[in-house]
Structure 1
Amino acid sequence: MFSSLEVDIRPGSGLGMFEIGMSLWNVLDLIRQMQQAFPQVDVKYDPDSPTTPVILHIRPHLDLLFSGYHQRLHTICLRRLRDLNPPVTLTYKNTVLSSNEEVLRRVGVSRTFGPTYPGDDLRYPGVSFSFDEDGRGEGLKGPQTHPEDRVQEVKKVIISQKTADGEVRDALDEVVECPVMTGDVQRAIIKVHDGVTLHFYPSTSEPVRIQLGSTTAQDLTCDLGPPLRIHYKEDDRMTIHARSGSADDDTDTDYFYNYLQHGIDFLVSGSTHIVKKIILHTNVPGTPLFQRYKRCPWEIESQPEDDEDETPPRKRFDDRVENISHFLSPGDVPPSMLLDRTDEEDGLTLPSSTTRLLGFDGIILEVTESAQVVAVMLF
């Protein structure tokens, strides 16, 4: 563990190395690279829903709240300022607010940040200071007038996006678009038998379309940049389910372009170098693939009901599998196959290690026992 934790406050923007709007995938990857500084991290989530907020509790000082849909850092909470394991040094514009020798008190906050709104907490645009260790104040009670309140010790600092008139942001809200999101996938529109259209941040960016049987590996590199990994396909166990009973027609080895930072894999033909399959990942906590890929917020789109319909019907990754199945095939649900992704991971046990593969015409859904779709494959 580092001898001390030194962080600076950036109201409405971040704290230390954490920026409001960062993805859960990026933050956990960053923490993993700094295990000496953050040896113990708890991930708290609702196992029955893929779109409830996720909390990272980095003991003993930090709580990071991520939005439920896009998994973006929504709120940063710095706690236990006087805990010496490790000691915390808190600064604002190169001024030390709290340290092993300096206690942050109400009067110190007022001198640094100026007047604020009435209430138990000191609230400013993008940052608030609480004198309650476990929870927020009891609400608005009018201005504090007791002389001893000046020396109240700050127990908790909360960073969030700025709002008008000191309004407190709802923890269930999504993070408003901000610069740290630039280059990330905002949404992925799937068309079965065709491909996927990727919309990026900022919202003014031109979308990128990847088509099955048409887009090449070179196109992927030009449009998305080089993949983080290239994996050559060696697992042919699924060929036993092929109708012909034989392996793929291609004699050359197919390979995957793994865009982990976008939550997408592309299977490319080893002979033609054209995209054959597209896999989009949901990054559901508690599942074997959690944190291997950033969440890709995909939506499956069908044909408009008529020529004047400008909003074709869609199903999103957070819809229940029953609804998506009926959307893809209004008839009977196809038979499923079981897949345990922990079979090759000795010593790994998870509450939701077994998933089901549901095959439809041109698309396969990988589904958990709690009916959450963790991945979609187009072919």
Structure 2
Amino acid sequence: MFSTLNLDLRPGNGLGIFEIGTSLWAVIESLRQRQHAFPQVQVKFDPDSSVTTPIILHLRPHIDLLFSGRYQRLHTICLRKLRDPHPPVTLRYKEGVVSSPEEVLRRVGVSRTFGPTYQGDDLRYPGVHFSFEDDSALEGGKKNSLDDRTQEVKRVLISQKLPDGAERDALDEVVGCAAMNGQIVQALVQIHVGVTLKLHQTSKPLVIRIGETTAQDLTLDLGAPLRVYYKEDDRMGIHSGSETSPDTRMPETEYFYNYFQYGIDFLLSPSHVVKKMLLHTNIPGSPLFQRYNRCPWEIAGEPEDDEDETPPSRPFYDRFEQISRFMGHSEPPQPMVLNRTDDQDGLTLPSPTTRLYAYDGIILEVTEASHVACVTLF
């Protein structure tokens, strides 16, 4: 016996627990906590351009969630198969039930609830529209008559409302909204300096400097980290020029502040000062996908003069070759190969290896598709 899936419809804003503008990372984290309600989830994306193309979460059998390509924000919600009883769906609008196992949502019911609208194959209102064609009709099946008041609604689509009433394109980015408050909209990287974070609905940017910003500063500006991890993995130490032997080395007391919700890790020294930063791109299909939210980083170049407030930069969605040339390197350095699945038994990915390209003050972790999965500043 399936329990009923109760969903409230909020045109232009959301459906049930899903809010337009929420990040992909936050939605999947929420689904992990509700596996009893959404036991089957599929992630669909284009493996050839997964950094910039939309991503779909399919929650069988009723809900499809479309996320924008670059900033991974919930763009469109599609509710379908309203009559499928596995599980049954009850759809509410304001204080009333518009669809349930006992009440079929039809054209006449939509008109009574939402009022008149322009003529067309679907009934369209700001932030929501109702379609009378199921998936088979979209593939070339027979269309229903517009004069049939008893037409059954097959799909409900919720998207952002635009001020001018224009239609949202599936490839558009989500316009700033309440769900994005406090989220990073830009992380401007300055090599040898640190990163400047611009947050949605926050006027003053946060400047985090290597060698200056403290653990207390991070907590005051960003809140408590979701996890504190004490550094134990010292495998990269073999590449260091230090002559210190393992027997005489002081005990390791460095630790990480993990801000998964921002897509950033900070390595802090024993004196509690930021020593290193890692900014994650959250690329679907990569080993670190969904561990971190996407951090929209940009690597800043040198300003033209002292009055240049907008120096050139290269964003996370550029290819590695473009970023390397931008940093002044016609040929990239010799990379090291990293396979993040080596420590994870049972995890199999089509492209599990990445390459680490080390420059002065920055390391780029690059996928086989030439996307930068992570930026490390030190």
Tell me the TM-score normalized by structure 2: 0.94
Kindly state the Cα deviation for residue 94 of structure 1 after the two structures are TM-superposed: 1.6
- Superimposed CA distance per residue, residues 318-339 of structure 1 (whole angstroms, 9 cap, x where no aligned partner): 0000011111233321000000
- Superimposed CA distance per residue, residues 126-161 of structure 1 (whole angstroms, 9 cap, x where no aligned partner): 0000001128989xxxxx763xx1000000000000
Distance 1:164 1:225, change over 3 A: closer
Tell me, yes or no, if structure 1 residue 265 matches structure 2 residue 265: yes
What corresponds to 1:222 in structure 2?
220
- Superimposed CA distance per residue, residues 35-85 of structure 1 (whole angstroms, 9 cap, x where no aligned partner): 111111110111122011100000000000001111000000000000000
Kindly state the Cα deviation for residue 4 of structure 1 after the two structures are TM-superposed: 1.1
What corresponds to 1:132 in structure 2?
133
- How far, CA to CA, are the matches of 1:136 and 1:19 in structure 2? 28
SS in structure 1 of the partner of residue 42 of structure 2: strand
What corresponds to 1:85 in structure 2?
86
Over aligned residue pairs, what C-alpha RMSD do you find?
1.8
Aligned residues: 370
What corresponds to 1:211 in structure 2?
209
Partner amino acid for 1:341? R
SS in structure 2 of the partner of residue 150 of structure 1: coil
What corresponds to 2:142 in structure 1?
none
Q: Which runs of 5+ in 1 are unaligned?
A: 139-143
Partner amino acid for 1:128? H
- Superimposed CA distance per residue, residues 234-277 of structure 1 (whole angstroms, 9 cap, x where no aligned partner): 0000010012254797654100000111000000001x111100
- How far, CA to CA, are the matches of 1:135 and 1:8 in structure 2? 27
| Within-5 A mapping of 1:34-53 | 34-49=34-49, 50-53=51-54
Q: Which runs of 5+ in 2 are unaligned?
A: 140-144
- Superimposed CA distance per residue, residues 206-230 of structure 1 (whole angstroms, 9 cap, x where no aligned partner): 1111000111111111111110000
8 Å Cα contact 2:232/2:252 also seen in 1: no
Moved more, 236-245 or 312-321: 236-245
SS in structure 1 of the partner of residue 46 of structure 2: coil
What corresponds to 2:294 in structure 1?
295
- Superimposed CA distance per residue, residues 101-147 of structure 1 (whole angstroms, 9 cap, x where no aligned partner): 10000000000000111110000000000001128989xxxxx763x
What corresponds to 1:13 in structure 2?
13
8 Å Cα contact 2:121/2:146 also seen in 1: no
Distance 1:2 1:300, change over 3 A: farther
What corresponds to 1:64 in structure 2?
65
Tell me the TM-score normalized by structure 1: 0.94
8 Å Cα contact 1:117/1:166 also seen in 2: no
Distance 1:151 1:13, change over 3 A: same
- How far, CA to CA, are the matches of 1:222 and 1:228 in structure 2? 14
Runs (4+) of structure 1 exceeding 6 A deviation are 135-138, 247-250
Tell me, yes or no, if structure 1 residue 305 matches structure 2 residue 304: yes
